[in-house]
Amino acid sequence: MIKKLTYLLIILPTLCSINTLATTNTTTNTNGTQVKLKGGFEFQSAFHDHNVNQALYISKLNKQVAFNSSGHMNLDINNTDNDAVNFGAKIGLEITTKNDRKAASSLYLITNYGKLELGSDKSATNKMKITGYSIGAGTVGSWDNWTRLVRYPDKIAYIVNFGNFLDSKTREGEKVEYSRKITYFSPNISGFQLGISYIPDSTNTGYAKHNNPVHHNLAKPLKLSFAIKDGIGYGLSFEHKAKGDLKIKTALVGERGITRVKPCCKGIEKFTNLNTYLIGSEIHYKQYALAASYGNYLRSLTSPDIDESSRSTYLYGIGGRYEYSTKIATSLHYFFSKHKTNKFNAITFAADYKIASGLLTYTETTHYTTNGQFFNTKTKKISYDKTKGTLLLAGLRLEF
């Protein structure tokens, strides 16, 4: 263990993250059309230590150390020739096997009456939500991409993030696009803004014909898949800037839709429709920031014929951030979820340093614990999962 920690301390300083928030290759034509090319590349290192005897490798052959890289490109074509209408398109291009979910494609139209988006961009729920991670430093909560949490992956499921159904939970891992949708954002009126998305079919995610369905895995241990018909993602936010440096923002978001589960089997024909909500707030004052959120699935995608012990899922998080200067920031976040009978806790500490304008280096550590259970059909007894682990991250990211 000491040797592994020593190795980690050696590689971390050299595997820091770089984040450049700049826009290049911008051209403006005489007709008012602007073409902006944006992209990014990230290299990240991870070290994972846990108490599980079984091999939960962080990569195929290595239990505890792994590297990863990803990239994305985005082309933004915008026309401002008409004073009353601003219109354009965003085209996302996947350039690596692991997409960081920044590449999305949509056509947009902006007027005095609001903004309309058509395509596969994120839903209003996803864009408007506030979580405890919203003010975080480092990876801002994406650490969970690295962990395999349980010794019984086919028996126990945990909720480890604030991902919503109509975007991340219905998006195939190897595919870059979200489901097709229509999204409307109202103009800001006295600090209030409304957003709403309509997704007729969550299986229409691209890389296939529009009538070729792609269903998604239901929470374990069920060997079923689900889809959402006539999905609605909504959000309502309010932002207030007080005198001085105080700023407060609150958002209520949620999702609704008709659940479709397959294969449909006798006695398991009734699953609750999608109906979730998440409420969050963030407060900024000078170099301090605080954010908190609470969400509930309201028995979404559960069946009284199967979920006899519990059908409840809720989650919450709270985070704080302190900026020592314009270059250095740290954050601390606590996350908790209870999915049916399975509990999950995580504490994340992150720090980042802005080397130059748009150039960022960070490191992050997360300690997590699980408390899950399931009925073991072989032993006819309750089996428990009590995993604890620590994940250390550092990386190299460039956006241009």
Q: What is the identity of the amino acid at 83?
A: D
Which string of DSSP letters, residue by residue, matches 289-310? EEEEEEEE-TTTT--TTT--S-
DSSP string, 76-89: EEEE--SSS-EEEE
The pLDDT assigned to 196 comes to 98
Residue 397 scores a pLDDT above 50: yes
Radius of gyration of the chain (CA): 22
Rounded distance between C-alpha atoms, residue 241 and residue 391, angstroms: 37
Tokens found for residue 221: 């241990």
- pLDDT score of 59 more than 80: no
Q: What six digits make up the tokens of 4?
A: 């592994």
* CA dihedral of residues 53, 139, 75, 119 (deg, nearest 10): 70
Per DSSP bridges, beta strands 313-323 and 328-339 are antiparallel
Provide the pLDDT for residue 128. Answer: 96
Question: How, if at all, do strands 181-185 and 359-376 pair?
Answer: unpaired
| Domain boundary assignment for the chain | 2-399
pLDDT of residue 117: 94
The mean pLDDT value for 31-37 works out to: 77
Give mean pLDDT, residues 179-185.
93
Question: Higher model confidence: residue 320 or residue 51?
Answer: 320
**60-69: burial string, b at 16+ Cβ within 10 Å, e else:** eeeebbbebe
Percent of the chain exceeding pLDDT 90 equals 35
Return the pLDDT at 211.
Answer: 62
Nearest to 215 by CA among 146, 263, 273: 263
pLDDT at site 281? 97
Spell 247-271 as b/e; 16+ CB within 10 A means b.
eebbbbbbbbbebbbeeeeeeeeeb
> In whole angstroms, what is the distance from residue 161 CA to residue 142 CA?
8
- Global pTM reads 0.85
**Among residues 10, 17, 11, 6, which one has the least CA distance to residue 44?**
17
3-state secondary structure of 124: helix
How many other CB atoms are there within 10 angstroms of residue 371's CB atom?
A: 16
Whole-number average pLDDT of the chain:
80
Judged by average pLDDT, the poorest of 31-45, 91-105, 111-125 is 91-105
Mean pLDDT of 188-200: 96
Share of the chain above pLDDT 70, in %: 76
DSSP, residue by residue, 176-201: -PPPPEEEEEPPPBTTEEEEEEEEEE
**Above 90 in pLDDT, residue 189?**
yes
Q: Which residues pair with 197 in a beta bridge?
A: 183, 233
Segment of 83-87, 134-138, 304-308, 375-379 carrying the highest mean pLDDT: 134-138
What does the pLDDT read at residue 15?
Answer: 38
- What's the residue count for the chain? 400
Between 54 and 373, the more confident residue is 373
* CATH fold of the domain at 2-399: Porin (2.40.160)
Confidence of residue 19 (pLDDT cuts 50, 70, 90): very low
